[in-house]
Amino acid sequence: MQNRNWLGWILCCATLILCTGYTLLRPVQLYRITEGKIHFKSDAPLELIEASSTKLKGLIKTEDQTFAFSVANESFEGFNSALQREHFNENYMESNRYPNCTFSGKIIEPVDFTKNGMYSVRAKGKLSVHGVDVERIIKSTITIKDGEIKVNSSFIVPLQEHNITIPKVVYQKIAEEINVEISATLTPQK
């Protein structure tokens, strides 16, 4: 009888070790942005302001569908003038104090990252702009083709939610809500 208890205990431990070993040995699949662009547009009554950055960085961990994206504020280009870019960085984004905008969280809908296909998903997480974190759900399209992931999204960022104030002198030149578009290609990290 004692031999069966020991045998059961040994089998239980062996199973646990095998399962744990399999989980630990299974590679975590990380995809990193190899090409990414973020574009914003402020469409106010008296002025249209647009700028883009190709310095978007990010990762998706396919195992648990978590993600993290980041862009440096000072990497945006394409403003109407150098003065406009300076005001963006110094007066509104305060880029010296808050150098990056980030979005990190989890993809809500299940995605099979091993098969080609297109998925309409919601990404839930914290959007950090101007040092203020706001819980957001952002709709996105994920396209998987031949081991590559493409992410496309467009959403609105209300300036007031992130404590970005518009002086009355220029309130007709800067929109209260900024349109943002993101496109990124991610490949497996080696």
Q: Which domains does the chain have, with CATH numbers?
A: 28-188 (2.40.128.110)
Mean predicted lDDT score pLDDT of the chain: 89
Q: How many other β-carbons are positioned within 10 Å of the β-carbon of residue 27?
A: 7
pLDDT tens digits, one per residue of 40-93: 999 999 999 999 999 999 999 999 999 999 999 999 999 999 999 999 999 999
The reported pLDDT for the residue numbered 169 is 86
CA separation for the pair 138, 176 (Å, rounded): 19
Residue 17: pLDDT over 70: no
- Any residues with CB less than 8 A from the CB of 134 and at least 6 apart, and which? 126, 127, 128, 161, 162
- The residue behind tokens 């309409």 is 120
For residue 145, the model assigns a pLDDT of 97
pLDDT in tens, 141-155: 999 999 999 999 999
Q: Which two tokens stand for residue 98?
A: 């808050």
% the chain with pLDDT above 90: 80
Examine the pLDDT at 24 and tell me if it is beyond 50. Answer: no
- The better pLDDT of the pair 24, 86 is held by 86
- 8-12, 34-38, 46-50, 108-112 — which is least confidently predicted? 8-12
Q: Is the pTM of this model over 0.95?
A: no
Q: What is the pLDDT of residues 47-57, one digit of tens each?
A: 999 999 999 99
pLDDT, residue 14, reads: 45
Residue 62's contacts (CB-CB under 8 Å, 6 or more residues apart) are 29, 30, 31, 111, 113
> Residue 10: is its pLDDT beyond 70?
no
